């Protein structure tokens, strides 16, 4: 069937990427629409849209602050209707949660004039402009959270060095999760307030740890994201060290949890040396790392669940959980994850059990099999190969559908592992979508999942669990529990 592509450009019209992803998904769900894309008009984004068949050679020229709205549909009439719907949505007055028209300052200067006591700016603009906006915020006395990605590492280093000199924290770039003063920012969860501080170079890792702590009765003082490159050699852990300083000086924080994939060795030594100077207890969860050379006041946690339990003083997460007795039989495990850190954690658990694992996002230093010898397959659905030109699976769960249907129909697969991440910024009903695909399958594999989130989240964790269980999905208390359960079911 032929398709028709229609594109319109809004000059000087900016919306953050999460809002654009949500609108893209909603337009793509219209009957007859094959795909929809709303992206800022940077060269990189134009290439992404072109690769997805959403941008023709006749498309108007754009600059980085222009918005491209593009639709590919079965017919011209359907494309025009869908484009009109997207533009109408963009033109709607934005309202606050209370129903009043939202306040939308046109500049940082205007925002500060209205909120002179503000001390944090959240930057969510195309990567080409993020560093400049962050620098403006720093020089106006603000700490900065940079949600934007595609910021060159050289600019990240310069920003963090300037922030350190000014005594202001730079969280990010590509910082997708934080809880500051009890307020969830970007992709985060509503958790109890308490005395456990978290510093993380991993968004979904922080979500899992903070949610498990909260659901077990503990509470979070602050959860500070630092961006995925902060613990690399070029950046040197600048923001992590500053976040540790801040939490160490905070009388409301009793214990501090560090969450990341393994840092560069020299950076790890600097981080652990700083940890050793503190009078507070630390939990170190460097996924794929080791417990060697820890200072006396620190405990190593090999999984996110272990990190939550250690932070809670040894209290077990879901101590009463009883896994099902029915075995899955011999076969492979296929894990389909929307959270990159949850994907990494599952890999490590399978590898530690002696399984042969192949992944599109292998954990550095953890080892992996080659394709021919692979038994289990673990997939990070948030990787570029799945999200180029479409929303992240935490926003659009349909990204998982094709891989899930293949796994459920494969007689060599014994267990399918899946994560379900809820909270602010996430899909309104990820469990409902996952359950619908599972219920429609006639395949034999067992499906094991976990739900990252809390009862306070808009989706409500217990309700998401109930939806999955009604579809026959086995729901484990944590992502680590789910991976371990998949192993036990295959061995039985």
Do 295 and 365 lie in one domain? The reply is: no
Query: Do 354 and 274 fall within a single domain?
Result: no
73 and 149 both lie in a single domain: no
Spatial neighbors of 268 by CB under 8 A, at least 6 apart, are: 231, 262, 286, 289
> How many Cβ atoms are within 10 Å of 293's Cβ, its own excluded?
11
- Per-residue pLDDT of 142-155, as tens digits, reads 999 999 888 999 99
Residue 91: per-residue pLDDT: 82
Residues 266, 385 within the same domain: no
**pLDDT given for residue 174 in this prediction:** 92
Examine the domain organization and report whether 305 and 336 are in the same domain: no
- Answer whether residue 102 is part of any domain: no
Q: What is the mean pLDDT of the chain?
A: 89
Confidence (pLDDT) at 42: 79
pLDDT recorded at residue 257:
98
pLDDT band of 1, cuts 50, 70, 90:
very low
Nearest residue to 139 via CA among 121, 157, 115: 121
Do both 291 and 390 map to the same domain? no
Instruction: Please check whether residue 130 is in contact with residue 65, taking contact to mean a CB–CB distance below 8 angstroms.
Output: no
In a domain, 281, yes or no: yes
| Per-residue pLDDT, 158 | 97
Residue 77 located in a structural domain:
yes
Residues 239 and 306 in one domain: yes
* 303 in any annotated domain: yes
Number of domains within the chain: 3
Residue 446: give the domain boundaries: 332-491
Cα dihedral 124, 127, 133, 137 in deg (nearest 10): 60
Contact between 424 and 190 under an 8 Å Cβ cutoff? The reply is yes
The CATH number given to whatever domain includes residue 366 is 3.40.50.261
**Centroid of chain to Cα 431:** 17
Instruction: Give per-residue pLDDT as tens, 371-380.
Output: 455 589 999 9
- What angle is formed at CA 293 by the lines to CA 292 and CA 296, rounded to 5 degrees? 115
Distances (CA, A) of 166 to 129, 135, 142, 169, 244: 21, 11, 10, 9, 17
**Predicted confidence (pLDDT) at residue 97 exceeds the cutoff of 50:** no
| Cis peptide preceding 173, ω within 30 of 0 | yes
Mean pLDDT value of segment 86-96: 75
- pLDDT for res 373: 54
- Residue 94, pLDDT > 80, answer no
Share in percent of the chain as helix, strand, coil (round to 5): 35, 20, 40
Provide the pLDDT confidence category of residue 370 given band limits of 50, 70 and 90: very low
H helices of 315-360, where?
Answer: 340-352
Residues 337, 265, single domain; the answer is no
Pairing, β 413-421 against β 376-380: unpaired
Nearest to 146, CA basis, from 177, 185, 107, 172: 172
Residue 58 has pLDDT above 80, yes or no: no
- Quote the pTM value: 0.87
**Whole-number Cα distances in Å, 2 to 33, 55, 298:** 12, 15, 61
Return all residues near 361 (Cβ < 8 A) that are at least 6 apart: 340, 343, 344, 378, 379, 380, 383
Residue 95, pLDDT score: 54
| pLDDT (mean) for 267-274 | 96
Q: Quick one: pLDDT at residue 365?
A: 61
Task: Give the pLDDT confidence score for residue 114 in this predicted structure.
Answer: 87
Rounded-to-integer distance, Cα 466 and Cα 483, Å: 20
Top-confidence residue, 186 or 92:
186
pLDDT: is 112 or 64 the higher one? 112
Same domain, yes or no, for 337 and 297?
Answer: no
Confirm whether 96 is domain-assigned.
no
DSSP per-residue letters across 169-215:
-EE-SS--EEEETTEEEESB----EEEEEEEES-HHHHHHHHHHHHH
**Which of 183, 312, 180 has the alpha carbon at shortest distance from 257?**
312
**Helix/strand/coil for 418:** strand
Q: Is the pLDDT of residue 291 over 80?
A: no
> Which pLDDT does position 328 carry in this prediction?
60
The residue count for the chain: 492
Label residue 336 by pLDDT band (50, 70, 90). Answer: very high
Tell me which residue of 492, 85, 206, 143 sits closest to 324, measured CA to CA.
Answer: 492
Task: Identify which of 96-105, 255-264, 356-365 has the greatest average pLDDT.
Answer: 255-264
Residue 101's pLDDT band (cuts 50, 70, 90): low
Asked if 206 and 293 sit in the same domain, the reply is yes
Is the pLDDT at 390 greater than 60, yes or no? Answer: yes
CATH of the domain at 28: 3.30.1360.30
Q: Is residue 107 part of a domain?
A: no
Per-residue pLDDT reduced to its tens digit, 470-490: 999 999 999 999 999 999 888
Q: b/e for 148-185, b at 16 or more Cβ within 10 A? A: bbebeeebbbebbeebeeeebbbbbbbbbbbbbeeebb
106 lies in some domain? no
pLDDT at 357: 92
pLDDT tens-digit series, residues 78-89: 989 989 998 888
Residue tagged 């042969």 (tokens): 356
Q: What is the pLDDT of residue 368?
A: 55
For the ranges 33-37, 124-128, 160-164, 203-207, the lowest mean pLDDT is seen at: 124-128
pLDDT at res. 253: 98
CA 301 to chain centre: 21
**Beta-bridge partners for 71:** 6, 36
Same domain, 230 and 371: no
Residue 98 lies in a domain: no
Which of 2, 13, 8, 144 minimizes the C-alpha distance to 69? 8
Task: Count the Cβ atoms, other than its own, within 10 Å of residue 356.
Answer: 16
- In a shared domain, residues 77 and 133: no
Provide, rounded to the nearest whole percent, the portion of the chain with pLDDT above 90: 62
Interval 57-75 mean pLDDT:
85
393: which 2 tokens? 């699976």
Q: Is the pLDDT of residue 242 over 80?
A: yes
Section 386-405 average pLDDT: 85
């Amino acid at each position: 069937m032929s398709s028709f592509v229609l594109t319109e450009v809004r000059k000087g019209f900016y919306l953050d990427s999460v809002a654009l992803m949500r609108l893209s998904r909603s337009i793509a769900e219209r009957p007859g629409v094959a795909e929809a894309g709303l992206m800022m008009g940077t060269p990189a984004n134009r290439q992404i849209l072109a690769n997805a068949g959403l941008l023709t050679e006749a498309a108007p020229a754009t600059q980085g602050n222009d918005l491209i709205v593009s639709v590919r549909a079965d017919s011209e009439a359907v494309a025009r209707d869908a484009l009109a719907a997207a533009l109408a949505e963009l033109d709607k007055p934005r309202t606050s949660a209370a129903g009043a028209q939202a306040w939308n300052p046109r500049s940082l200067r205007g925002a500060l004039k209205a909120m002179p006591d503000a001390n944090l700016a959240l930057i969510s603009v195309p990567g080409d402009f993020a560093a400049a906006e962050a620098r403006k915020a720093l020089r106006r006395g603000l700490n900065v959270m940079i949600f934007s990605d595609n910021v060159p590492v050289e600019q990240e280093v310069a920003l963090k060095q300037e922030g350190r000199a000014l005594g202001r924290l730079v969280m990010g770039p590509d910082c997708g999760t934080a809880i500051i003063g009890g307020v969830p920012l970007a992709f985060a969860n509503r958790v109890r307030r308490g005395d456990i501080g978290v510093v993380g170079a991993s968004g979904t890792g922080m979500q899992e740890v903070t949610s498990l702590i909260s659901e077990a009765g503990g509470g979070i003082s602050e959860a500070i994201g630092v961006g995925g490159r902060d613990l690399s050699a070029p950046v040197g852990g600048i923001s992590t060290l500053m976040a540790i300083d801040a939490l160490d000086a905070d009388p409301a924080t009793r214990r501090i949890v560090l969450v990341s994939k393994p840092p560069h060795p020299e950076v790890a030594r600097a981080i652990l040396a700083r940890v050793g100077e503190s009078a507070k207890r630390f939990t170190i969860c460097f996924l794929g790392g080791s417990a060697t050379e820890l200072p006396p006041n620190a405990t190593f946690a090999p999984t996110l669940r272990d990190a939550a339990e250690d932070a809670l003083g040894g209290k077990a997460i879901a101590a009463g959980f009883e896994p099902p007795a029915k075995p899955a039989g011999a076969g492979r495990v296929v894990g389909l994850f929307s959270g990159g850190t949850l994907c990494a954690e599952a890999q490590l658990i399978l590898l530690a059990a002696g399984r042969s694992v192949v992944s599109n996002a292998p954990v550095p230093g953890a080892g992996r099999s080659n394709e021919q010898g692979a038994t289990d397959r673990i997939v990070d659905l948030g990787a570029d190969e799945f999200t180029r030109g479409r929303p992240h699976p935490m926003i659009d769960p349909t990204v998982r559908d094709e891989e899930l249907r293949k796994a459920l129909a494969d007689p060599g697969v014994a267990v399918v592992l899946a994560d379900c991440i809820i909270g602010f910024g996430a899909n309104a009903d990820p469990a409902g979508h996952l359950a619908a695909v599972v219920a429609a399958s006639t395949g034999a594999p067992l499906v094991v999942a976990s739900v990252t989130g809390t009862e306070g989240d808009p989706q409500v964790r217990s309700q998401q669990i109930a939806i999955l269980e009604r579809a026959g999905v086995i729901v484990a208390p944590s992502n680590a529990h789910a991976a371990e359960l998949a192993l036990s079911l295959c061995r039985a």
